Amino acid sequence: MFSKGQEDKSNYKEIAEGIFMRPLVYGDQTLLTEIRFSQGSVIDFHEHPHEQTGYLVKGKFQLTVEGREYQVEPGDSWCIKGGKSHKAEFQEESLAIEVFSPPREEYMAD
């Protein structure tokens, strides 16, 4: 599958207050997403069976995984194994690229 990059903002889904995601491309085993976070937005503690790997393009946030805290800045990356409790608090408007495996069906294009 191939996805042409575009600046059309209409295909973003608000997945939580102040958090907007768009699926970029997906296959049988992975889903690649672009996620925009508003300053002050929070993803409270949660877990899911998907492994989640990400790269911060811009912004800054505090990531907590299984009780360990990380200050994430542009150029940093992370991998959270499935079933691990995690939380993120965004100090700045941020942009991340994330991969989920297996794909999160609720994030895939309609």
Three-state helix/strand/coil letters over the chain: CCCCCCCCHHHCEEEECCEEEEEEEECCCCEEEEEEECCCCEEEEECCCCEEEEEEEECCEEEEECCEEEEECCCCEEEECCCCCEEEEECCCEEEEEEEECCCHHHCCC
pLDDT in the model for residue 81: 97
- Number of structural domains (the chain) is 1
Tell me if 72 is assigned to some domain.
Answer: yes
- The pTM for the full model equals 0.89
User: pLDDT for 14-71, tens place per residue?
Assistant: 999 999 999 999 999 999 999 999 999 999 999 999 999 999 999 999 999 999 999 9
If one compares 109 and 22, the residue with the highest pLDDT of the two is 22
Structural domain boundaries, residue 42: 14-102
Tell me if 110 is assigned to some domain.
Answer: no
